[in-house]
Structure 1
């Protein structure tokens, strides 16, 4: 392949990957602004993220199969054009639309996003010789990792510049990028699989039902209150739908001449292991979402400022991703994955046990640097390389989409798992603070028991407290529990122990973060263990032939 042609492919597809990556997080800082502007509550507002996740997960395997069948150029142009249109409509809804119109626009945007990542990875991976494939996919991993992590920071910056009432600009930014890609994409060749097999429409419909039902159920499932949560009407009916539809999906896809989801992927040991690792990586990724709040608690920063520390993750992830590509070409993808999981294990344990004791920027910096290296070595290049090495070339996009789907399911489960550790730790906050207050109270005055109705009611206001606001919020809560004549005396008694209150709050919450990071480390250990099962580079040479023989 000519150098200019290779560079054009990289630029066009990396632009699309970056655009799709930043959009996964760019909405986060504007979520409350958006829901407030439409006058909807938080439960309704979460649909702007939930709907996007569901449509994205459903569209990935379907659009990718369209790429295998009709050509990757056509599928990619469809993805970019649809994503750009959805972004434009999302932005316009800020000024002219309703919340329903905004949700429809988000669905259109997600439909396009589902055709960007797998197609881009397939074309880039197959456009370079095997000895340079890892390097190319390393660049993909760098762009995706940096874009994904910087999304929230970029969203905050755009809102600061445009103003909180003009949140639509976080979507408008995608429009010129989409137009640039579409303008130059006519030069791309429309490579596709040499097949005349009919499109698996029945499989597409059933698979959409299976994916959407399990994703929605897992999004609403609380793993720390599993027994109660699974009985909720937004969980168990969808699990039932998933259980009922899955056998039909297996039957349809096993009989289809050109299945949307190839059941053979789950029968081949190498591919099944790759999919399990992708699922594990998805679960572990959510630990990064809590880095801002963790950093604020450790460093005693005001709420919102911790988001900028995520930039450290992006920097080290951006450094590691291209290095991982080079290492893949020399050492193989299994070696790079193992290295990435080791970095992740070390980084999460450092944050959980060392940074929570040091309580300074150095501790945060070292932990985030190690985590960033772990993300750079596990996300993107190694898994993409392994899929392309394992499945037949004509199934590249389908194989990559299946891997991305498994990662998305992991991401859907992760919030319910990770947030549970923080919530569980917060249960100890009230009794610990009451112990501190009991020592400082004026003689003859006792605090209500931590389990009493008046105490519990007053402490409800502390649910939104952070390390910088706990003292004034606690003072308000406590003074509401005593007679009017005693309020000034109680408020004055709290001032000398304000530092003790802050330290207690910080310690209790850090315990929850420690447990969360330990869980993330255990998840990474599982990923490391499954990686050891993978065949090495030399052992994988005949995998595609095995697939072809199975087809026969």
Structure 2
């Protein structure tokens, strides 16, 4: 292996492990939230801040880490990010109070947020153009697999050790090894800039991201009504105002040529780059659809709650395969073709959930198709599109792309959850229109005794007196609890379960149709983007076909 080949091998290995570790911690905590809340004696609402604060820290760190890595060197920033992440993990595990635990999660996020950006930027700055897509695909695959498998790995470690601290302590020796090997094996790469560091712009950008992301995380399932709440409208409004101030300040800074803007206006003024950012946000929305897979398997397929998370595994493996495919497709057919392919495959995979998926084997096929589609867009194509034609600021360009993807992943779960909520809120209507027929069919198959039939008639009179228009879960449980005949109790329980499944199908159907629609929007955006790239030199290695 040549010297450059060894250098690329070590860079890919170290960045892959770092990306996997950081992405894993974004989801691994979800399996331990109840245990952590109990340990610190806090409510579920307060406990959720362990996730929220990490999301905010990631969003803030993305553009800062991207800019600093361009300016001071990707190796140097990678080492700093790993040290920060490792210290944050150690502090989380050793935190004696909930307040210190939250502060440590924020430190951990500041360290973890830039690792993926720095890795991609390093590849785009040091690797030969014909190999970049393959390496970016590998890195994107690690990021996607870790994000999807995080809850499962967390559950496994928690069941195995019975100790939530191990979820964070395990990061410490890995971080130490990455720092040592990084110092020894990673080559340095940077875009030297003699301009003064843009500290005011950095502060404004951080406050803008903090305000915007905090407002977005407070949106609930009643999407539009949420904007009447001050913790949504005020913070989103403040974020928008701060972004406008930032753009005005950065424009003035660029005209004076007296500094190194945190947000280069040469990027912001390019319609092509803005379209790439839009596709990035849409891809984040598609990725957010994966969060609801365990709920789908539990409520629609009837899989036990404690096992539902493990059904993410086929999807995670498929996303890793898709990321590798995306890298190869970029090399052979170009990034636009690859983005279109991702949109098509993802839309088909998500559409199969409401159209076709009723059995477990059908779910595996549907989820793997969706996983391949998501994986294709995770690594190479958008990173190539965001940085093509740039001689500098590649880390900054990638950081903005990741930030928009993060915004998509923050907004869409609320919209998706709204579909599920509306599906279950419609259960009263389903009871009124469907329950009698379902119950009669189950009664015919059950061969009930006369006593059970008399009891059933009494239940029917009771439901009729209430109009049957609105039935709560508590009323259903109370009704089943009063039934004396065991066979009748089982018949009614099965009938209620069928109504619940129908409500879940309606809710999750809307969710996955909307996720499929995002795939169609990605296709449309890619076709709009294609002619915008004509003035950019595209590497010959991309091959023929749709570029």
| TM-score (normalised: structure 1) | 0.88
2:427 to 407, 429, 434: 429
Question: Conserved in 2, the CA contact under 8 Å of 1:281 and 1:407?
Answer: yes
Q: Aligned partners of 2:328, 2:9: CA distance in 1, in Å?
A: 18
Task: Report what 1:397 is aligned to.
Answer: 395
Task: Report what 1:449 is aligned to.
Answer: 466
Question: Conserved in 1, the CA contact under 8 Å of 2:280 and 2:405?
Answer: yes
Shift of 1:536: 7.2
Over aligned residue pairs, what C-alpha RMSD do you find?
2.2
Going from structure 1 to structure 2, the CA distance change for 1:277 and 1:99 (only over 3 Å counts) comes to: same
Task: Report what 1:471 is aligned to.
Answer: none
Task: Report what 2:317 is aligned to.
Answer: 315
Q: Aligned partners of 1:346, 1:479: CA distance in 2, in Å?
A: 40
Question: Conserved in 1, the CA contact under 8 Å of 2:50 and 2:105?
Answer: yes
Q: Aligned partners of 2:532, 2:176: CA distance in 1, in Å?
A: 40
Question: Conserved in 1, the CA contact under 8 Å of 2:223 and 2:415?
Answer: no
* Secondary structure, aligned partner of 2:300: helix
Q: Aligned partners of 1:540, 1:181: CA distance in 2, in Å?
A: 40
Task: Report what 1:250 is aligned to.
Answer: 247
* Secondary structure, aligned partner of 2:193: coil
Question: Conserved in 2, the CA contact under 8 Å of 1:78 and 1:115?
Answer: no
Q: Aligned partners of 2:474, 2:5: CA distance in 1, in Å?
A: 61
1:527 to 522, 528, 541: 522
Count of residues in Structure 1 that have an aligned counterpart in Structure 2: 512
Shift of 1:265: 2.3
Shift of 1:500: 2.2
Question: Conserved in 1, the CA contact under 8 Å of 2:88 and 2:104?
Answer: yes
2:404 to 388, 402, 406: 406
Does 1:511 pair with 2:506?
A: yes
Task: Report what 2:478 is aligned to.
Answer: 477
Task: Report what 2:206 is aligned to.
Answer: 208
Task: Report what 2:300 is aligned to.
Answer: 298
* Secondary structure, aligned partner of 1:393: coil
Does 1:189 pair with 2:193?
A: no
- 1:105-184 matches, within 5 Å, as 105-163=104-162, 166-184=163-181
Q: Aligned partners of 1:21, 1:11: CA distance in 2, in Å?
A: 15
* Secondary structure, aligned partner of 2:462: coil
Question: Conserved in 1, the CA contact under 8 Å of 2:223 and 2:414?
Answer: no
2:30 to 28, 31, 37: 28
Q: Aligned partners of 1:217, 1:436: CA distance in 2, in Å?
A: 41
Shift of 1:543: 8.5
* Secondary structure, aligned partner of 2:222: helix
Shift of 1:380: 1.8
Question: Conserved in 2, the CA contact under 8 Å of 1:64 and 1:75?
Answer: no
Shift of 1:537: 11
Question: Conserved in 2, the CA contact under 8 Å of 1:91 and 1:168?
Answer: yes
Question: Conserved in 2, the CA contact under 8 Å of 1:17 and 1:143?
Answer: yes
Shift of 1:78: 0.8
Question: Conserved in 2, the CA contact under 8 Å of 1:282 and 1:410?
Answer: yes
Question: Conserved in 1, the CA contact under 8 Å of 2:351 and 2:512?
Answer: yes
* Secondary structure, aligned partner of 1:304: helix
Question: Conserved in 1, the CA contact under 8 Å of 2:137 and 2:378?
Answer: no
Question: Conserved in 2, the CA contact under 8 Å of 1:389 and 1:540?
Answer: no
Shift of 1:492: 6.4
| TM-score (normalised: structure 2) | 0.89
- 1:50-129 matches, within 5 Å, as 50-93=52-95, 97-129=96-128
Any gaps of 5 or more consecutive residues in structure 2?
254-258, 441-452, 540-547
* Secondary structure, aligned partner of 2:530: coil
Q: Aligned partners of 2:529, 2:495: CA distance in 1, in Å?
A: 51
Q: Aligned partners of 1:184, 1:380: CA distance in 2, in Å?
A: 24
Q: Aligned partners of 2:384, 2:532: CA distance in 1, in Å?
A: 11
Deviation string 1:351-399 (CA, Å, 9 cap, x unpaired) is: 12110xxx21121011011101101111121111212214x23211111
Shift of 1:538: 7.8
Q: Aligned partners of 1:303, 1:124: CA distance in 2, in Å?
A: 41
Task: Report what 1:8 is aligned to.
Answer: 10
Any gaps of 5 or more consecutive residues in structure 1?
463-473, 481-486, 545-552
Going from structure 1 to structure 2, the CA distance change for 1:230 and 1:503 (only over 3 Å counts) comes to: same
Q: Aligned partners of 1:536, 1:247: CA distance in 2, in Å?
A: 29
Question: Conserved in 1, the CA contact under 8 Å of 2:480 and 2:493?
Answer: no
